[in-house]
């Protein structure tokens, strides 16, 4: 994944393979695979300021494409972890778009 520039390490550059992946990290990974431009004029999440700058394009690109959605109450919960079910839905949505 790193060689294909689909997934990078954390903010310090460490990959940390045994750590959980956050929702915003998953958004970046899936967006890198999806590789489509983003329309940032779409409605922003209520917790937009909590989404890291490096993840915003991916988060909103996947929202616009219908691949990844928020957690309810128009919040994304960027630092929350993905459940196995959420990861499966993400991959399924991505496959449907390809």
- pLDDT exceeds cutoff 80 at 7: no
Model pTM above 0.75: no
Q: Cα dist. 53→29, 57, 86 in Å?
A: 15, 8, 23
Give the Cα separation of 40 and 61 in Å (integer): 8
| Percentage of the chain modeled with pLDDT above 70 | 82
Q: What is the pLDDT of residues 42-76, one digit of tens each?
A: 678 999 999 999 899 889 988 988 899 999 899 99
């Amino acid at each position: 994944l790193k060689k294909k520039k689909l997934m990078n390490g954390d903010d310090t550059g460490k990959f940390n393979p045994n750590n959980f992946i956050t929702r915003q990290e998953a958004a970046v990974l899936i967006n890198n695979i999806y590789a489509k431009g983003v329309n940032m004029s779409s409605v922003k999440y209520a917790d937009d300021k909590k989404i890291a700058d490096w993840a915003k394009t991916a988060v909103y690109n996947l929202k616009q494409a219908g691949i990844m959605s928020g957690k309810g109450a128009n919040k994304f919960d960027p630092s929350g972890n993905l459940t196995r079910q959420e990861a499966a839905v993400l991959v399924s949505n991505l496959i449907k778009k390809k």
